[in-house]
């Protein structure tokens, strides 16, 4: 999908040179990749085949948006980010678990993810369930890892774990997935769609930003601003995901394009058409950037990430 042309219509405050964002993303992706390699269990011993299934999906080439958002939020608060890396890796493990389970035959039954056959296609359904469970549990090992206790007070660390746990649980990502499955083939209201998106996709994205905010010792005003930013980019992320399902290709997306329509899923383009949906995504990005008004140039990566979420093509 070509969004670049539409970038010119974004207000000046949301503009950054595309190459700067690309460079930042590549750099941060490499940092996250390196940390994941360091923290993730290696494929040896009696559990090698279980760990192989976890590693297969974790290292299949995701964009690492959630960990990068956490790091960028801490950066916006002038915090050194090295000690945040175990938390950033935990967020990616949680996200990867959700993708593995989302692809299972009992859920979306997809055979392609991140450009590769899905975990259950390669390792079988039972092992894919366990790989997801393993990644989710391992994430909590990382959230409470001795390295994650550096540069943060025990109270702030517990608060961060609580926020992440809430975001991915029954009143968060898992609840959203449940609502999403129940809504398949049903005629639902737009308000209900927003609720599903907010829980299923928005909650973990918002929690990633909030984790960075807590690590960066945000005061109440900064935390509220970063939370608003997180909610708006979470919304933009899901709207663009809906658009990419319509306009993207399977090759670009690394997952089956057109799957939403095939499953008769309620989406933004289904409600509003493609053109209006793009405007709604832009509006969410603009609101996200406006929420960052109280921050200085250190928040530039967050502003660039908001814009990237709109222009991404996978």
Question: Which chain residues interact with ligand GRG by CB under 6 A?
Answer: 62-63, 65, 95, 98-99, 101-102, 114, 173-174, 177, 200-201, 238, 241
Handedness of CA 121, 122, 124, 127 (dihedral sign): negative
By C-beta, is 62 or 86 nearer to ligand GRG?
62
Decide if 245 contacts 259 (C-beta within 8 A). yes
By C-beta, is 101 or 223 nearer to ligand GRG?
101
Task: Write down the least CB distance from residue 242 to ligand GRG, Å.
Answer: 8
CA distances for 289 relative to 8, 14, 81, 95, 281, angstroms: 16, 6, 22, 24, 13
**Phi–psi pair at 103, nearest 5 degrees:** -80, -10
Q: Which residues contact 145 (CB under 8 A, 6 or more apart)?
A: 39, 86
By C-beta, is 65 or 139 nearer to ligand GRG?
65
Decide if 173 contacts 204 (C-beta within 8 A). yes
By C-beta, is 238 or 282 nearer to ligand GRG?
238
Q: Cα separation of 138 and 90, whole Å?
A: 8
Task: Write down the least CB distance from residue 36 to ligand GRG, Å.
Answer: 12
Task: Write down the least CB distance from residue 151 to ligand GRG, Å.
Answer: 26
Task: Write down the least CB distance from residue 298 to ligand GRG, Å.
Answer: 24
Task: Write down the least CB distance from residue 62 to ligand GRG, Å.
Answer: 3
Q: Cα separation of 235 and 271, whole Å?
A: 15
Name the closest residue to ligand GRG (Cβ).
Answer: 62
**Phi–psi pair at 88, nearest 5 degrees:** -60, -45
By C-beta, is 102 or 300 nearer to ligand GRG?
102
By C-beta, is 157 or 177 nearer to ligand GRG?
177
Task: Write down the least CB distance from residue 16 to ligand GRG, Å.
Answer: 20
Query: Residue 290 CB: number of other CB atoms within 10 A?
Result: 15
């Amino acid at each position: 999908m070509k969004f670049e042309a539409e970038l010119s219509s974004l207000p000046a405050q949301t503009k950054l040179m595309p190459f700067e964002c690309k460079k930042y993303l590549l750099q941060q992706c490499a940092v996250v990749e390196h940390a994941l390699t360091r923290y993730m269990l290696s494929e040896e011993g009696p559990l090698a085949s279980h760990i192989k299934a976890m590693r297969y999906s974790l290292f299949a080439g995701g964009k690492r948006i959630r960990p990068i958002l956490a790091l960028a939020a801490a950066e916006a608060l002038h915090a050194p980010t090295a000690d945040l890396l175990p938390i950033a890796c935990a967020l990616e493990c949680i996200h990867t678990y959700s993708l593995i389970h989302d692809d299972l035959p009992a859920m979306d039954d997809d055979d392609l993810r991140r450009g590769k056959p899905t975990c259950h296609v390669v390792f079988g359904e039972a092992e894919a369930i366990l790989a997801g469970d393993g990644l989710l549990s391992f994430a909590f090992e990382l959230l409470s890892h001795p390295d994650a206790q550096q540069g943060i007070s025990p109270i702030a660390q517990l608060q961060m774990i609580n926020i992440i746990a809430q975001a991915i649980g029954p009143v968060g990502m898992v609840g959203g997935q449940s609502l999403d499955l129940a809504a398949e083939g049903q005629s639902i209201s737009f308000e209900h769609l927003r609720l599903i998106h907010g829980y299923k996709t928005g909650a973990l994205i918002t929690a990633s930003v909030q984790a960075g905010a807590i690590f960066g010792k945000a005061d109440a005003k900064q935390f509220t601003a970063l939370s608003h930013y997180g909610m708006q980019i979470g919304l933009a992320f899901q709207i663009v995901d809906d658009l990419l399902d319509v306009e993207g290709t399977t090759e670009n997306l690394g997952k089956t394009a057109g799957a939403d329509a095939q499953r008769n899923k309620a989406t933004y383009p289904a409600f509003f058409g493609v053109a209006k949906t793009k405007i709604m995504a832009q509006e969410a990005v603009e609101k996200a950037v406006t929420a960052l008004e109280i921050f200085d140039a250190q928040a530039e990566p967050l502003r660039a990430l908001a814009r990237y979420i709109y222009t991404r093509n996978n």
